[in-house]
Amino acid sequence: MFIPKANRIAVFKYLFSEGVLVVKKDTVSSTHPHIEGPTNLEVLMLVKSLESKGYVRVTFNWQYNYVYLTPEGIEYLRSYLALPAEVVPATHRKVTGRPEGRDRDDDKFAGEGRAAFRGGNDREYRGRDGGFGRGGGV
């Protein structure tokens, strides 16, 4: 299948910038919901080609392809798009500091686990009868 170069570059740029891609197995859709330009069929065919070369790993689940870049794929796309070595996909960036919009109050139950939501007693949900609402002699 012939895919115009502009569409191929758009898919490759998106895949490299994000590091992952979701493609629905839908060959009649006119556009891909996340990428401007190529049809969903073109994205499917590009993913198929990249997978056969070992540049991506594809997981198929419930009519969706989940596409993950491999280290070889990162190098291939970096050379194809003529990007410098310091540019990396979003899935390979280090997160520093707290995400924006979060306060210390959001983490008040972070170290306490599920017991904090049950009043502190780890076995409280089982009750007196031996567990899960059954009678004592079962």
* Length of the chain, in residues: 138
Do 48 and 40 contact (CB within 8 A), yes or no? no
- Does position 53 have pLDDT exceeding 60, yes or no? yes
- Average pLDDT score over residue span 68-75: 92
- Average pLDDT score over residue span 40-63: 91
Q: Which two tokens stand for residue 12?
A: 């490759």
pLDDT in the model for residue 51: 93
Count the Cβ atoms, other than its own, within 10 Å of residue 13.
Answer: 15
- pTM of this prediction? 0.66
5-92 has which CATH code?
1.10.10.10
CA distance 98 to 127: 40
pLDDT in tens, 17-44: 888 989 988 788 788 888 888 988 899 9
pLDDT in the model for residue 55: 93
pLDDT in tens, 94-115: 777 766 665 555 555 555 555 5
